[in-house]
Every structure is written in structure tokens, then in C-alpha cells.
Amino acid sequence: MWFKNLYLFRLTQPFTFEHDALNEALAADAFQPVGKVTPFSYGWTPPLGRRADQFCHTVGVYSMVCAQKEERVLPAAVVNEHLAEKVEQIEAAEARPVRRKERLQLKEELTMTLLPQAFTRSTRTWAYVDRKAGWLVVDVSSATRAEDLITQLRASLEEAGGTITARLPDTEASPRVQMTRWLRGEGIPAGFELGEEYELQDADKEGGIVRCRRQDPFSDEIQAHLDAGKQVTKLAMSWRERLEFIVGEDLTVKRLRFTDTLKQELDSGHEDPAVQFDSDFAFMTLELSKFIEELIAAFGGENVVEPV
């Protein structure tokens, strides 16, 4: 349950679905196992696990949801191998070449034939809505998986007569420029400390990339890269000795780790897994709400677009 990545979406309108309404909306699009000739299936599953009956878990202003995707894994190499055999049989039997249009049709037919025999792979994606602060926080490092979840969430809410509108966060200061300043030792925000892992790239985004680990950021070598115009695109940091993470130029947080200092404050040891989940979720969301607020502030706060 503890998030390892944070993909942030700023809600541009208040999230009006309370627990019961949200649970009902998600239940209508509950996950169903993938069919024999269906490439994939996507839907909602209870965050507490299969034995639970609630499709969202709410503590205060925070509601957690979980999306599940199951897909059939049919490697292209397998399809191409069967296609080559089929084409060879036709050309030998009919003494004619198989043209491109016919090949595509054969490939489609073979895919439908082989699909029921393919193995399935299942993945889950957790996220939570912070109604008070106006965030949707998704535990993924992939933009595609984050968009899949928000697209499904929007569809489920629209079916229930509502909606969700969200965008990526936009800060006053450029993350690249701000992180580059920090790597020069300038204006490191209170509560944050630099780690020893970072990525540098030329300002035009098409130039060379330098990836560093366990190297003093203030060394002459690294400072020379900055003097030559390279900017920071990823930076390892820690926050108030409670969280360790890598923040990217798109403000995604990856490899998030809750430190031992923080874990000592946990209310752990509950015999009931549901009670423990509830306690952990409450603790995690309260901690992350403070962290997200200070992280955004570290980049100059959000860029507020005035209505026209």
C-alpha cells in the first residue's frame, strides 16, 4: 500500500464524489477477467484486496482507488513465425506470391486464433484523491499508466453523472532551472537535502546526458558540466529526514522511500489487516500532503492562470 512513486495531477474543479457515490461509480466498472479473444481488460478492484467489497477506501478527505489491468501476452515473434509458415504454404500450394494486403489479413486471423492460447499478465495501479488540497496522486512512474487510470476514472464518473478534470502541475519556476541552482548550492529549500544521484542534460534537450551516482555534486567536474550549460533533469533528495526520493523535471517523484525515522511513528501491529491498512493509509496521506505542499513551494508555487 505504501506508494513508491508519485505522479501528480492537479484537480481543476472540486472533487464532489463522497465515499458512497464514488464506490457506486467504480463498482459499475468493476474489473472483469480478460476474455478469450480480448487483448486486455481494465476496471476497478477493491484497494483492500479481492475479499473486500468496497471499491474505494476513504479516510477523511482522502479516497484510495485501485485499477486492475489484465492483458494477453502474445509476442509478435510468435505471430510472425506462424505467419511465415502460412505464407509459405500458400505460395507453395498455389504457386503465387502473397501480397501485402493478404498478409495483413492472415496476420489478423492468426492473432485471433492464437490469442486464446496466450498467457495473461495482470497489473494493479493505486491512486488517491485529496479532496481538500485538490490532488490526484497516482503510484506509477509511467505517464501511460497514469493516463490510463485517469481516463478510466473520468469515464466511470461521467457514467455516474459527474466528472473529473485534472492537469499536470505547473510551477512558477522551471524545475530544470531550479534543480540546477540547487546543484550549484544556491537556494536549497528548507527541509530538503541533496542526494548523490542526479542526471544532467544539455539545455536544448537533444544533447548529451550525464548520469551520476555517489558523486559529490559540488565537485569541480560536476560544476564544469553546469558551467558548460547542462541542466539537472533528475535529482535525488530527502525531505525532513522522513522521505527519500528522486524528483524529475516533470515533477514526478520516483523511488520514494519512507525512512526509519518516519516508520517509528507508525501505529503498527494490528491483528485486523483492514484496521492496519486504514491506519497506514491515514498516516501516509497526511505525510504526503505535507510533502507535496512543500515540494511544489520549493519550485516557486503553482502558476495560477487567471480566467480570461
Same-domain check for residues 80 and 70 = no
Write the CB contacts of 38 (distance below 8 Å, at least 6 apart in sequence): 72, 115
Residue 308 confidence (pLDDT): 35
Where a domain ends, among 111, 128, 158? 111
Same domain for 220 and 290, yes or no, is: yes
Cα–Cα distance for residue pair 281/269, rounded to 1 Å: 14
Give CA torsion, residues 101, 103, 106, 107, to 10 deg. -110
Given a cut of 80, whether residue 27 has pLDDT beyond it is yes
- Do both 159 and 251 map to the same domain? no
Residue 304 falls inside a structural domain: no
d(Cα 304, Cα 308) in Å, to the nearest integer? 12
Question: Residues 194, 101: one domain?
Answer: no
Digit-coded pLDDT (tens) for 109-168: 888 887 777 788 899 999 999 999 999 999 998 999 999 999 999 999 999 999 999 999
- Output the DSSP codes for 222-270: HHHHHHTTEEEEEEEEEETTTEEEEEETT--EEEEEE-HHHHTT-----
Residues 124 and 11 in one domain: yes
- pLDDT value of residue 221: 87
Can you give the pLDDT at residue 148? Answer: 96
Per residue in 208-247, pLDDT (tens digit) is 889 999 888 888 888 898 998 899 999 999 999 999 999 9
Domain count, the chain: 3
What integer is the mean pLDDT of 15-40? 92
Q: Name the pTM for this structure.
A: 0.85
Q: Are residues 162 and 250 in the same domain?
A: no
pLDDT in tens, 55-95: 999 999 999 999 999 998 878 888 888 888 888 888 888 88
Tell me if 143 is assigned to some domain: yes
127 and 158 share a domain?
yes
Same domain, 146 and 85: no
For residue 13, give its domain range.
7-74+117-167
Confidence of residue 44 (pLDDT cuts 50, 70, 90): very high
Quick one: 15 and 147 in the same domain?
yes
182 in the same domain as 272: yes
- The values of phi and psi at residue 265, to 5°, are -90, -5
Q: Which of 125, 142, 167 is the last residue of a domain?
A: 167
Asked whether residue 1 is domain-assigned, the answer is no
**pLDDT at residue 306 in the model:** 47
Do 132 and 32 lie in a common domain? yes
Q: Quick one: 155 and 20 in the same domain?
A: yes
pLDDT at 205: 66
The CA R_g of the chain, rounded to the nearest whole Å, is: 24
At 185-213, the pLDDT tens digits run 999 999 999 998 999 998 776 778 899 99
- Residue 89: per-residue pLDDT: 86
What pLDDT is attached to residue 305? Answer: 57
| Domain end marker among 142, 167, 192 | 167
Output DSSP code: residue 171.
Answer: B
- Residue 55: name the closest of 65, 43, 69 by CA: 65
pLDDT at 218: 83
Of 202, 198, 225, 224, nearest to 212 by C-alpha is: 198
